[in-house]
């Protein structure tokens, strides 16, 4: 958005030329020198000064030529008249990059809209002939063509020519565009000094400054190198002192290692001697076990013969027991057969008694059934006499059937009416659903606006949710925030409303009563800590105010509407906006309005005007009575781009209400018909029940006659099925007597078999007792034999184990002897040397004592860790390195002293001209400020380091 700028109505023609097409042309005076002419010796222009700027199709200009003067040049004009365009032309025409200006990033964007090529030509003062630089800019490929004195050239040649004239468009101290002011203000003191040196100082000044910085960097590196080498030298000396101590500890460690070596030599001999003594002990134990084994074998031989004799006796007794078991089994089988025969006879007697009892019960049951049948025949006969005649029932039956037919016709008519109403109801439901869907689409658009509100103003959205739940707490109606209440008729006009109404009011709630607003703000801000805005509509409505000029009067200036007619809003919102923002007085125009804006402002006397992309605010000065206008570019719309057709939505709501009313009417009619249908159903059930009862009365006589006939036949059959119980009883007694006689004979045979079984069991018991005695004797002999055998095997195993152990010890002794001689480095057939034996005598004679002494010596030796024979070599090597580093440190110190001398010389050659230049700047700067009755000073700030 362009920065606001004041425009005076009495400005020059150049200032007013921005009205229609911003074309600005000037004619050259005859006294102006021509481009490329030789310059006079007394020309007021200095070398590198701009003599002429020519622009064609560049930004806002079609064709424009500017002739700057030799001294201070000022360009005055309103916003949009092309002041910055001249600055851009200077930068781009002198080989500057678009980034130096801080606006468009591509050079093609500086060509006037609608043109394919733009040209910038700058004439720069130089002796003896001026330099003319021309740049042609092409939009299509974003490229440029360069000319130097009308001769095609490259960008590099132009840059070299500009540099030779000491023109630096990239230096903010020499060329400061409007958009780079903030960047200039952020320059540090050092950056400002360097930029000043480049801009007005001699070329060697900035070079000396850079050399001085490089020398100072090298000086710091040398100082750091000297400090590092000095530190390393001290560390090496301290470390070498530790190496000297390590040498002494190394010799002490060697003494412990020699003691460990002689102990390790004696240890195998001590182990060998202990194992040899164990071998002799095992050999003696084996010989004692062999003698005991021979004595046990001699005592075990007689016991084997006794066991064989007892086993033969047990076998004979077991054979006799088996014979008795066979005889007992045969006798038992015969007893079982006799017992089964007796049980069979008992069962036959029970069956005869059961059959007789069942025949008696059957006869009693037959007599009972005959009695019941006769009673039933008697009852049915009496009922038959009392039954009504069929001829009296038929007229009643015909009357009921006729009533049922009439009832069915009425029910059919009601069903038809219900079906018609149901179909009509379904059609209305479908229509209501379609209407509801279309209303939901409008609701979705409102939800989109609410989501935007929630994303940008969370507190306002929370307050809206609270308001919708508590509207009953307010005396008068409360409108939602304006950005939700306002509904644009055309969303492309939303930008005018959003630029006209402040963002604070756009999210404000609108109240009709001040008390309601105060209560709302207290709840939101004090209780809920929400940051919300609220306004109160004026007590006297302003929504219907008429504008001072009708829109038809303004059509000739390109205006098409007032802001109020661009949107719909609730009555309080519209009243507030007319009162606060005068939307009924602010017209909206087009590009036509913008092209004739000077005339519009002068003739219409309007205070606020909108064109297609700009807003104009016109004020009249209270002091000079001059008209001053300010124009700003319009921001794109953010919230009001979603529009809802209020009339269409209102029609849909009315249609939905009408459909609901029709549905209620249909439901009432269907309820009445259903009630009638229910009454007819009850009447139908009653008639059908009467018909059923008449049919039962009609069929009852016929059923009774049939039942009486069937019972007579059943009675005759039961009287024929009589049973003679006396005859049946005599036959059953005869059969029972015969079966009892057979049972007596079977019992006698059964008793004899029982006696035989008892005799056989007594014989078997005696044989079992004898066999048990023999088995006990045999088991005792077996136990004694097994115990002796176990003892014998144990001794054999002990002998075998001792034999194996003796063999292992013998082999171990041989191995230990070989190991001991190998440790002492002597042959298998040689004896220990006398000096070794002498050394062994002073050492312990047990393995435990030797191991304890070894651990002690090893522990002492392990305390001297990290010590090797290279310690002495390392110590000597460190001594040589310390001498070498000392020599290098001295050389670095000499080099550092030499660099410091060079720095002093270069600093003097740079600082003296710099102080003179700053004094000149200060003199002129103070003079300029004094002419304005102000005080000003420019000084060079110096520190210990540059």
DSSP 545: P
b/e per residue, 789-822, with b = 16+ CB within 10 A? eeebeebeebbeebeebbeebeebbeebbeebbe
Neighbours of 70 (CB within 10 A): 12
CB 94 within 8 A of CB 167: yes
Which residues are 144's β-sheet partners?
Answer: 137
Residue 414 pLDDT greater than 50, yes or no? yes
Tokens for 916, please give them.
């003179």
- pLDDT over 90 (residue 52): yes
Percent of the chain with pLDDT over 90: 9
Sheet holding 627-633, edge to edge: 7-8, 627-633, 614-620, 608-610, 587-588, 561-562
* Alpha-carbon dihedral sign for residues 656, 658, 659, 660: positive
pLDDT of residue 65: 93
pLDDT category at 333 given cuts 50, 70, 90 is confident
Average pLDDT over residues 860-887: 73
Model pLDDT, residue 589: 93
Distance, in Å, from the CA atom of 470 to the CA atom of 480, rounded to the nearest integer, reads 13
* Integer angstrom CA distances of residue 857 from 245, 369, 837: 21, 126, 21
Q: DSSP characters for 864-899?
A: STT--THHHHHHHHHHHHHHHHHHHHHHHHHHHHHH
Pairing of strands 508-511, 533-536: parallel
What is the structure's pLDDT at 18?
A: 37
DSSP 280-291: HHHHHHHHHHHH
User: What is the distance between the alpha carbons of residues 171 and 168, in angstroms, rounded to a whole number?
Assistant: 5
Structural contact between residues 71 and 49, judged by C-beta atoms closer than 8 angstroms = no
| Mean pLDDT, rounded, for 46-75 | 88
Confidence of residue 207 (pLDDT cuts 50, 70, 90): low
**Do the Cβ atoms of 181 and 173 come closer than 8 Å?**
no
The whole-number pLDDT of residue 778 equals 77
For tokens 């150049």, the residue is 14
- Of the chain, the end-to-end C-alpha distance in Å amounts to 43
Which pLDDT score is estimated for 7? 31
Cβ atoms of 940 and 915 within 8 Å: the answer is yes
Q: Is 521 exposed, middle or buried (0-12, 13-18, 19+ CB in 10 A)?
A: middle
What gap in Å lies between CA 132 and CA 126, rounded to an integer?
Answer: 10
Name the pLDDT band for 208 (thresholds 50, 70, 90): low
Token digits of residue 397? 């039956």
pLDDT of residue 559: 92
User: Which positions ≥6 away from 224 have C-beta within 8 Å?
Assistant: none
The size of the chain, in residues, is: 946
Torsion of CA 764, 765, 767, 773, to 10 degrees: 160
pLDDT, average across residues 708-730: 76
pLDDT at 392: 65
- Is residue 19 over pLDDT 60? no
User: Residue written as tokens 């002011």?
Assistant: 181
Order of strands, sheet of 508-511, starting from the edge strand that comes earlier in the sequence = 478-479, 508-511, 533-536
Rounded CA gap, 839 and 844, in Å?
11
Residue 390 has pLDDT above 80, yes or no: no
Task: Write the secondary structure of 55-119 as one string of H (helix), E (strand) and C (coil).
Answer: EEEECCEEEEEECCCCCCCCCCCCCCCCHHHHHHHHHHHCCCCHHHHCCCCCHHHHECCCCCEEE
Model confidence at 23: pLDDT above 50: no
The DSSP annotation for 23-61 comes to: ----PPPTTSPPTTPBPPTT-SPPTT-EEEEEEEEETTE
Where does the pLDDT of residue 201 fall: very low under 50, low under 70, confident under 90, or very high at 90 and above? low
Q: Is the pLDDT of residue 812 over 90?
A: no
Token code pair at residue 520: 């709302």
Instruction: Give the CA angle between residues 445, 610, 562 to the nearest 5°.
Output: 65
pLDDT given for residue 697 in this prediction: 67
Best CA proximity match to 328, nearest among 758, 808, 691, 686 = 758
pLDDT at 726 over 80: no
Within 10 A of 81 (CB to CB), how many other CB atoms are there?
A: 22
Q: Band of the pLDDT at 452, cuts 50, 70, 90? A: confident
Q: Of the spans 232-236, 580-584, 709-713, 723-727, which averages the highest pLDDT?
A: 580-584
Structural contact between residues 498 and 639, judged by C-beta atoms closer than 8 angstroms: yes
DSSP H/E element including 511: strand 508-511
Which neighbouring-strand residues pair with 56? 63, 119
Rounded distance between C-alpha atoms, residue 198 and residue 11, angstroms: 39
* Token pair recorded at residue 585: 């007085």
Q: Which segment of 6-15, 423-432, 912-921 scores lowest on mean pLDDT?
A: 6-15
Mean local confidence (pLDDT), 140-149: 87
| pLDDT at res. 535 | 94
Assess whether pLDDT exceeds 70 at residue 15. Answer: no
What integer is the mean pLDDT of 523-537? 91
Q: Average pLDDT for residues 126-140, to the nearest whole number?
A: 87
List the beta strands (DSSP E) in 515-646: 533-536, 561-562, 567-568, 587-588, 608-610, 614-620, 627-633
| 614 token code pair | 């700009």
Residue range 547-568: mean pLDDT, rounded: 89
pLDDT for position 701: 67
Q: Which secondary structure element, helix H or strand E, spans residue 208, and what is its range? A: helix 203-386
Alpha helices in 596-645 (DSSP H): 597-604
In angstroms, the Cα distances linking 563 to 406, 498, 568 are: 74, 11, 11
What's residue 285's pLDDT?
83
CB 574 within 8 A of CB 527: no
pLDDT band (50, 70, 90) for residue 536: very high
pLDDT score, position 388: 59
| Confidence check: pLDDT of 131 > 50 | yes
* Confidence band for 946, pLDDT divided at 50, 70 and 90: very low
Is the full-model pTM beyond 0.75?
no
Nearest of 132, 122, 125, 126 to residue 152 by alpha carbon: 132
- Asked if residue 648 has pLDDT above 50, the reply is yes
**Cβ–Cβ < 8 Å for 547, 562:** yes
pLDDT at 41 over 60: no
Alpha carbon distance 641, 889 (integer Å): 77
Is the predicted pLDDT of residue 509 greater than 90, yes or no?
A: yes
- pLDDT digits 0-9 by tens, 739-779: 788 778 778 777 887 888 888 788 878 888 887 887 888 78
pLDDT at 678 over 70: yes
Q: Which residues on adjacent β-strands are paired with residue 617? A: 608, 630
Q: Are 729 and 353 in contact (CB under 8 A)?
A: no
In which band, very low, low, confident or very high, does the pLDDT at 562 lie, cut at 50, 70 and 90? very high
CA distance 797 to 816: 28
Eight-state DSSP code of residue 596: T
**Predicted pLDDT at 537:** 92
User: From start to end of 400-489, where are the E strands?
Assistant: 478-479, 487-488
> Cα angle at 604 between 603 and 608, to 5 degrees?
130
pLDDT tens-digit profile of 841-859?
777 778 787 778 778 777 7
Q: What is the pLDDT of residue 434?
A: 78
129: which DSSP letter?
B
Residue 317 has which token pair? Answer: 């007794």
In the predicted model, what is the mean pLDDT of residues 347-352? 83
Q: Using CB atoms within 10 Å of the CB of residue 676, give its burial: 0 to 12 exposed, 13 to 18 middle, 19+ buried.
A: middle
CA distance 528 to 331: 112
Is the link from the previous residue into 128 a cis peptide, with omega within 30 of 0? yes
- Longest distance between any two alpha carbons in the chain, whole Å: 182
Average pLDDT for the chain: 78
Q: Does the pLDDT value for residue 34 go beyond 50?
A: no
User: Is the model more confident about 207 or about 347?
Assistant: 347
Residue 905 or residue 56, greater confidence: 56
Q: What is the mean pLDDT of residues 395-416?
A: 80
Q: Where are the alpha helices (DSSP H) in 177-202?
A: 181-185, 189-200
Any idea what DSSP says for residue 224? H
| CA–CA dist 68, 271 (Å, integer) | 117
- 324 neighbors 767 (Cβ within 8 angstroms): yes
Q: How confident is the model at residue 5 (pLDDT cuts 50, 70, 90)?
A: very low
pLDDT bin (cut points 50, 70, 90) of residue 53 is very high
Structure token pair of residue 385? 């006499």
């Amino acid at each position: 958005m362009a920065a606001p700028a004041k425009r005076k109505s009495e400005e020059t023609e150049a200032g007013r030329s921005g009205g229609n097409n911003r074309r600005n042309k000037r004619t050259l005076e005859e006294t102006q020198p021509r481009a490329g002419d030789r310059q006079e010796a007394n020309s007021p222009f200095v070398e590198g000064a701009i003599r002429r700027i020519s622009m064609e199709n560049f930004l806002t200009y079609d064709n424009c030529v500017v002739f700057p003067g030799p001294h201070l040049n000022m360009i005055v004009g309103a916003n949009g008249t092309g002041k910055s365009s001249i600055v851009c032309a200077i930068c781009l025409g002198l080989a500057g990059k678009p980034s130096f200006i801080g606006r468009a990033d591509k050079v093609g964007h500086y060509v006037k809209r609608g043109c394919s090529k733009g040209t910038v030509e700058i004439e720069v003062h130089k002796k003896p002939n001026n330099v003319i630089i021309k740049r042609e800019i092409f939009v299509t490929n974003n490229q440029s063509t360069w000319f130097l004195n009308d001769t095609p050239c490259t960008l590099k040649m132009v840059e070299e020519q500009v540099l030779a004239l000491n023109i630096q468009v990239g230096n903010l101290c020499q060329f400061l565009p409007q958009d780079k002011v903030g960047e200039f203000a952020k320059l540090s003191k050092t950056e400002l000094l360097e930029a000043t040196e480049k801009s007005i100082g001699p070329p060697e000044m900035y070079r000396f400054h850079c050399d001085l910085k490089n020398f100072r960097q090298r000086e710091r590196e040398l100082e750091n190198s000297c400090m590092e080498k000095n530190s390393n030298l001290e560390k090496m000396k301290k470390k070498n002192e530790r190496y000297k101590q390590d040498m002494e500890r190394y010799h002490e460690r060697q003494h412990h290692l020699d003691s460990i070596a002689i102990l390790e030599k004696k240890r195998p001999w001590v182990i060998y001697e202990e194992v040899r003594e164990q071998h002799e002990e095992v050999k003696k134990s084996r010989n004692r076990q062999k003698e005991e084994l021979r004595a046990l074998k001699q005592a075990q031989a007689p016991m084997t013969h006794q066991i064989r004799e007892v086993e033969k006796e047990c076998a004979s007794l077991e054979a006799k027991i088996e014979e008795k078991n066979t005889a007992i089994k045969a006798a038992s089988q015969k007893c079982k057969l006799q017992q089964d025969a007796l049980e069979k006879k008992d069962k036959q007697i029970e069956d005869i008694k059961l059959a007789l009892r069942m025949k008696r019960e059957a006869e009693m049951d037959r007599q009972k059934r005959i009695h019941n049948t006769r009673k039933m025949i008697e009852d049915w006969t009496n009922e038959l006499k009392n039954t009504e005649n069929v001829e009296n029932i038929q007229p009643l039956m015909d009357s009921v059937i006729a009533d049922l037919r009439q009832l069915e016709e009425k029910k059919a008519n009601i069903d038809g009416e219900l079906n018609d109403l149901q179909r009509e109801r379904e059609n209305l439901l479908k229509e209501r659903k379609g209407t509801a869907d279309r209303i939901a689409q409008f609701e979705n658009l409102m939800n989109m606006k609410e989501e935007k509100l929630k994303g940008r103003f969370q507190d306002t959205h929370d307050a809206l949710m609270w308001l919708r739940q508590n509207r009953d707490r307010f005396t008068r109606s409360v409108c939602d925030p304006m950005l939700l209440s306002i509904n644009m008729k055309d969303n492309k006009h939303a930008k005018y409303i959003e630029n006209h109404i402040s963002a604070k009011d756009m999210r404000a709630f609108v109240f009709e009563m001040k008390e309601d607003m105060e209560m709302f703000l207290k709840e939101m801000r004090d209780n809920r800590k929400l940051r919300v805005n609220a306004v109160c509509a004026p007590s006297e409505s302003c929504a219907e105010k008429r504008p001072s000029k009708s829109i038809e009067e303004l059509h000739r200036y390109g205006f098409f509407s007032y802001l109020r007619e661009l949107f719909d809003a609730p009555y309080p919102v519209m009243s507030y906006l007319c009162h606060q923002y005068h939307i009924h007085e602010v017209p909206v125009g087009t590009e036509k309005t913008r092209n004739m804006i000077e005339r519009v402002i002068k003739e219409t006397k309007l205070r606020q005007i909108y064109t297609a992309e700009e807003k104009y605010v016109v004020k009249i000065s209270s002091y000079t009575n001059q008209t001053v206008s300010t124009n700003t570019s319009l921001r794109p719309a953010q919230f009001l781009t979603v529009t809802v057709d209020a009339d269409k939505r209102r029609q849909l709501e009315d249609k939905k209400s009408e459909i609901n009313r029709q549905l209620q009417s249909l439901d009432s009619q269907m309820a009445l018909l259903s009630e009638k249908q229910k009454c007819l159903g009850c009447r139908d059930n009653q008639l059908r029940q009467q018909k059923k009862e008449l049919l039962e009365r009609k069929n009852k006589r016929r059923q009774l006659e049939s039942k009486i006939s069937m019972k007579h036949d059943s009675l005759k059959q039961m009287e024929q099925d009589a049973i003679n119980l006396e005859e049946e009883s005599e036959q059953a007694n005869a059969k029972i007597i015969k079966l009892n006689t057979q049972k007596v004979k079977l019992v006698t045979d059964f008793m004899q078999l029982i006696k035989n079984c008892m005799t056989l069991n007594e014989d078997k018991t005696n044989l079992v007792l004898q066999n048990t005695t023999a088995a006990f004797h045999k088991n005792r002999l077996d136990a004694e034999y097994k115990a002796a055998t176990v003892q014998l095997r144990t001794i054999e195993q002990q002998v075998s184990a001792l034999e194996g152990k003796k063999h292992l010890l013998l082999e171990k002794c041989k191995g230990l002897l070989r190991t001991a001689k190998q440790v002492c480095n002597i042959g298998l057939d040689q004896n220990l040397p006398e000096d070794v034996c002498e050394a062994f005598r002073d050492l312990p004679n047990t393995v435990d004592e030797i191991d304890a002494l070894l651990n002690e010596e090893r522990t002492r030796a392990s305390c001297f860790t990290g010590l090797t024979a290279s310690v002495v070599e390392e110590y000597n090597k460190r001594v040589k390195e310390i001498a070498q580093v000392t020599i290098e440190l001295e050389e670095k110190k000499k080099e550092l002293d030499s660099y410091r001398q060079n720095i002093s010389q270069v600093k003097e050659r740079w600082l003296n001209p710099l102080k003179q230049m700053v004094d000149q700047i200060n003199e002129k700067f103070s003079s300029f400020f004094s002419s304005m009755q102000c005080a000003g000073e420019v000084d060079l700030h110096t520190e210990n380091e540059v």
